[in-house]
Amino acid sequence: MTKNIQITIPELPSGKLTESHFKLIEGEIPSPQKNQVLLKNIMLSIDAANRAWMQGATYRQAIEPGDVMHGYGICSVVDPNGSHFKKGDFVFAEIGWQTYGVISATEITACPDHKPLSHLLSVLGIAGKTAHHGLVQIGKIKEGETLLVSGAAGSVGNLVGQIGKLKGAKVIGIAGGQEKCDWLVNEVGFDACLDYKAGKLGKAIAQTCDKGVDVYFDNVGGNILQSALFNMNQRGRIVCCGAVSLYDGQSLAGPVGIPGLIVVKRLKMEGFIVFDFPEKDVEAENEIKTWIERGELKIYEDIITGLSEAPKALVGLLNGENRGKRMVEVT
């Protein structure tokens, strides 16, 4: 009989996350209780935030030692158990890193009819909406402005840069390594990209952004945010999307210059979570779909096969292995 494969995290990391923090176990497929449905995992989203959830409660509950690793993705309904879902329906759900899971029917949402399903986790999913809402609602990017984006080759970052170009901005990325930077310029269409691992980032930003930075889309925080701050124009906007440079056991770093630079340059620095703009979701989705149909927005996905590869996939993402949206195809 088929078993349920689960990946648990017996002990939370105090330093860098490694594959050895995870444990693969086999168990029975659970039976849904009243108001629950039984789901089978199809595709898991692998996110930098998965690591942040190990640091404590944020906008959601923290991961506790011994938990099945938390994670969100697309599942198919195996047993609707009297709910309004049908067997075989595709749904968004968070049953974590396991092949089967039970969850309350109120905690799942039907997927729209779209193929391939992976797009619903990448460009038409959280990554696409995070990029669009952050840049448009918070950054308020305008034609002719200079946009700087960190984590530029990642799932959110590459879309921020592409959307910035479509909105008429000059787009400068920040990414780890010359090879990634060359890819962003030659393939993705950024105007320039700076390798933060090469050092002297502040100087490189100043040289490349010759008219200063109007909008900085910050995916990483720490020292990179610090370098960006000093290059902001008067009345610039800093979009605080995440702080991946501080998730994986690094000591909390900078930036200095707050609030001094914020005051003197009249900057706006604002954080957001993708779920903050439900009333703008359809508008963002429609604009993204139009760009895709016209061939103006490229989709970069990085799909790894097999649930057992999930630990490696997350550790690799934190080490900068991915280009575009990383996912694990479970079934």
Q: From residue 224, how far is each of 16, 104, 163, 194, 195 by CA, in Å?
A: 20, 41, 22, 11, 11
- Report the nearest approach of ligand NAP to the CB of residue 304 (Å): 13
**Pattern 177-206, ligand NAP, x by CB under 6 A:** ---x--------------------------
- Report the nearest approach of ligand NAP to the CB of residue 243 (Å): 6
49 backbone dihedrals φ, ψ, rounded to 5°:
-60, -25
215 DSSP β-pair partners: 147, 237
Stretch that binds ligand NAP, among 24-32, 97-105, 278-286, 316-324 (CB under 6 A): 316-324
- Report the nearest approach of ligand NAP to the CB of residue 159 (Å): 9
Q: Per-residue DSSP letters for 92-135? A: EE---SBSEEEEEGGG-EEPPS-SSGGGGTTTTSHHHHHHHHII
Handedness of CA 271, 275, 280, 284 (dihedral sign): positive
The answer to whether residues 37 and 86 touch, using CB atoms and an 8 Å cutoff, is: no
**Distance between CA 123 and CA 288 in Å, rounded?**
8
Size of the site for ligand NAP (CB under 6 A): 31
Query: Cβ closer to ligand NAP: 119 or 326?
Result: 326
Q: Find the binding residues for ligand NAP in span 47-66 (CB under 6 A).
A: 47-49
CA dihedral 156, 133, 299, 143 (to 10 degrees): -100
Q: Is 156 in the site for ligand NAP (CB under 6 A)?
A: yes
List the one residue from 6, 76, 219, 227 that touches ligand NAP (CB under 6 A). Answer: 219
What are the E-state strand segments in 22-117? 23-27, 36-45, 73-79, 90-93, 100-104, 109-110
List the one residue from 155, 162, 208, 226 that touches ligand NAP (CB under 6 A). Answer: 155
Q: Is 244 in the site for ligand NAP (CB under 6 A)?
A: yes
Q: Is 154 in the site for ligand NAP (CB under 6 A)?
A: yes
Query: Cβ closer to ligand NAP: 22 or 217?
Result: 217
The answer to whether residues 223 and 197 touch, using CB atoms and an 8 Å cutoff, is: no
Stretch that binds ligand NAP, among 65-73, 84-92, 125-133, 185-193 (CB under 6 A): 125-133
Binding site residues, ligand NAP, CB under 6 A: 47-49, 126-127, 130, 151, 153-157, 175-176, 180, 219-220, 224, 241-245, 272-274, 317-318, 320, 322, 326
